[in-house]
Homo-oligomer: A and B are copies of this chain.
Amino acid sequence: MTFSRDLSHVPDDFRVGGFRFAATAAGIRRDGRIDVGLIVAPEGTSAAGVFTTNLVRAAPVTIAEQRLALGRARALLVNSGCANACTGPAGHEATARSTRALAAALGVSEAEILPASTGVIGAVLPAERIEQCATQLAGQADERGFGDFARAILTTDRWPKVAWRRVPTGSGSTNLLVIAKGAGMIHPELGPPQATMLAFAVTDAVLPAVALKPMLARAVDDTFNACSVDGDTSTNDAVIILASGQSGHRPEPAEFERALQGAFAELAASMVADGEGAEHLATIRVSGLETRDQARQIAKTVATSLLVKTALYGKDINWGRLLAAAGRAGVPFDPQRASVRVGGVEIVRDGGPVGAGAEARANDVLAQPEYAIELCLGDGPGAFAYRTSDLGHGYVDVNAGYRS
Which A residues fall within an 8 A CB radius of B?
53-57, 83, 85-88, 90, 120-122, 184-185, 189, 230-235, 304-307, 310-311, 313-314, 316, 318-321, 323-329, 331-333, 335-336, 348, 350-353, 391-393, 395-396, 399-404
Contacts and interface: CB of A to CB of B under 8 A. Distances in A.
Given A83-B320, A231-B306, A55 B314 contact: no
A401 B314 CA distance: 6
Contact of A233 (B83, B319, B324, B350): B324
Given A56-B335, A185-B307, A235 B324 contact: yes
Closest 8 CB pairs of A and B: A121-B320, A56-B327, A314-B400, A310-B399, A55-B327, A233-B328, A54-B327, A230-B306
Contacts of A393: 393, 396
Contacts of A329: 55
Instruction: Name the prevailing secondary structure of the A interface residues.
Output: loop
- In the complex this chain forms, how many copies of it are found? 2
Contacts of A404: 316
A227 B328 CA distance: 16
10 contacts: A54-B327, A86-B319, A86-B351, A88-B352, A90-B352, A184-B307, A231-B306, A235-B323, A235-B327, A318-B402
Contacts of A319: 86, 121-122
Given A86-B351, A310-B395, 13 more contacts: A55-B332, A55-B333, A57-B327, A86-B320, A86-B353, A88-B336, A185-B324, A232-B306, A235-B320, A235-B324, A311-B400, A316-B401, A318-B403
